A and B are shown apart, each in its own frame.
Chain A
C-alpha cells in the first residue's frame, strides 16, 4: 500500500479514536466546567459502560444488533444510576470541595475497579459489532461499523452542543457554571444541576465505551487510558469549553491514530503529553478556555 492510502487509513483510525475520545472527554469537561470537580473516577465510568455492555449483550442473545442496541440503552442508564448514587452519597456530602472530591473520586476509582474485577473477572471479553459490513475502498476495505461510530458520536456531540447553547436546561447549566451563588439567588437548585451534570458526564463516557467495545475488548482496567487522554483533551481544549474539547479531541485522536500507525502508540502518547506540558506552560487556560478571574 502506498503512502497516500496508508495515511488515509491512519486518518480514519484517528477519527474513530477522536470520536470516542470526544464523548468521554466531554463528560469530564462538563463535570469540571459546571461543578469544578475533577472526577478521577471518570475512566471507571467508561470501563463500567464497556463491562455492562458485554453483560447486557450476552444476556440478551439473538442477533448481535439486538444485544448491542440493548447495551447502548441499558449500560449508560446503569452507569448514570451509579454516578447519581456517587454524587448523592459522596460529592454532595463533601459540598463539592475541589480538593476533597479529588481524593474521594480516587477512592471511587478503586471501588468501581475492584467491583468489576470481582463480578466480571480479569479477562478481556469482546462484544460483537451490531453489523459486519466492510466498505471496499480502491486501496483497502474498512469497517462500516467504525465509520458509524464517527457518525453517531458527531450526532451526540451536536445534540450536547444544542442542549447547552439553545435550551433552557443548557442556560441554567451555564449560569450555574459561571456563578453558583448568583444562580441560587435566581431560583436555580444548584444541587440538582450538579447531580444532572455528573450523571450526564458519566453517561457520555459510558456511551463512548459501548461504541468502542466491538472494536476493543472490555476489561476491568480499561479506564486508565480514556482518563489520561480525556485529561489531555480537556487541558489542551480548555477546561469547561465544549468547543475546545471537540477540537482537542480531534487533534489528539488524529495524532494518536496517525502516529500509532506510522510509528508507535508510545510515541503518540509522548507527543500528546508533551503538548499538554506546553499548553500548561504557555496557555494554562487551554486553547479555548477563558482565564480564571
Chain B
C-alpha cells in the first residue's frame, strides 16, 4: 500500500521544550494506525505537528506529494487532513449547526456532504439548533467527528476519541472508524484503550520520549502482549 502520510525525522516542541525527537512514521492509504504510549510521550504533539499547529524545527511531514510542514497551518485541512482534538474542542458557544458549518467551510463543501455526515450521526439533526456546549459527552464526540468529516478528508486524526465516554458510545465510535476505513479514509488514532486498538487498528506505533520506537502489525500485539506492557506500562 502507498503511504498516505509520512513524518520523517521530525523535531518539534513548545517554546524551548522539545517533545518530538527525530519522530518518523508512515500511514498507509486506507489503514488505521494507532499511536500508543504513556502520557507525555508525544502522541498529541505528533498530531498537532501534522496539522501545523506545532511547527517542526527539523524534518518533514508529507501528504502524498504535498509537504504539509511547508504550508501555513490553516492550509493543512484544505489539503485533506481533518483533526478531532483531544477533549473535542468544540466551539461550545456555537450551535451544532454552526459547528458543522465551520467544518463544511474549511474545504467549501456543500449540503450533500452535510447530509451524508449527518446520516452517520442522526442524533445531531435533533440537536441542530442546540448550543454544542450543552450536549452530552457522547453527542459532543459525535459532533467533533462530524465537524471533521465535513472536510471529506483523506486522512483523519483522532486524539483519544473514546476518552470519558460510556461503553455504548465507545462502540459507536469504533463502528464509525471502521466504516470510514471501509470508505478508504486513512486514520491515525491516539488511544489509551488496548481493546479499542485491537478492534479497529491495522498497525500500532509505540511512542516513547518523542520517538516512534516500533511500528507493528496489530496481530503481533495479540501474540506478544508484553509489547504493550513494555511501552505503555499496562498489559
Query: A-side interface residues toward B, CB under 8 Å?
Result: 168, 171-172, 174-175, 178-179, 181-190, 290
Contacts and interface: CB of A to CB of B under 8 A. Distances in A.
Nearest to B147: A186
A113 B66 CA distance: 49
A290 B101 CA distance: 23
A151 to B, nearest CB: 31
A91 B53 CA distance: 20
Interface of B: 51-53, 72-78, 83, 85, 89, 91-94, 98, 101-103, 105-107, 147, 151
A210 B19 CA distance: 53
B144 to A, nearest CB: 10
A187 B89 contact: no
Nearest to B157: A185
A183 B99 CA distance: 10
Given A171-B98, A175-B102, A182-B85, A187 B107 contact: yes
Nearest to A192: B74
Nearest to A290: B93
15 contacts: A171-B94, A171-B101, A174-B94, A174-B98, A178-B91, A181-B53, A184-B74, A185-B77, A185-B83, A187-B77, A187-B78, A187-B105, A187-B106, A188-B74, A290-B93
Contacts of B52: 184
Contact of A172 (B73, B105, B107): B105
Nearest to B101: A171
B105 A185 contact: no
A168 B51 contact: no
B94 A178 contact: yes
Given A185-B51, A186-B77, A189-B72, A175 B85 contact: no
Contacts of B72: 189
A186 B94 contact: no
A171 B93 CA distance: 11
A190 B53 CA distance: 12
A178 B52 CA distance: 19
Contacts of A184: 51-53, 73-74
A171 B106 CA distance: 12
A290 B91 CA distance: 14
A184 B75 CA distance: 9
A66 to B, nearest CB: 42
Contacts of A183: 102
A124 B73 CA distance: 49
A178 B85 contact: no
Contacts of A189: 72, 74
Given A171-B105, A188-B106, 17 more contacts: A168-B105, A171-B98, A171-B101, A174-B91, A175-B98, A182-B85, A182-B89, A183-B102, A184-B51, A184-B73, A185-B51, A185-B73, A186-B77, A186-B106, A187-B74, A188-B74, A188-B102
A172 B98 CA distance: 10
A39 B75 CA distance: 29
Contacts of A290: 93
B136 to A, nearest CB: 18
B85 A185 contact: yes
Contacts of B78: 187
A92 B98 CA distance: 28
B99 to A, nearest CB: 9
A189 B93 CA distance: 20
Contacts of B106: 186-188
Contacts of A186: 77, 102-103, 105-106, 147, 151
A172 B102 CA distance: 7
B156 to A, nearest CB: 12
A134 B232 CA distance: 81
A171 B83 CA distance: 20
Report, nearest first, the 4 A-B pairs whose CB atoms are least far apart.
Answer: A187-B106, A187-B77, A182-B89, A186-B106
A243 B192 CA distance: 43
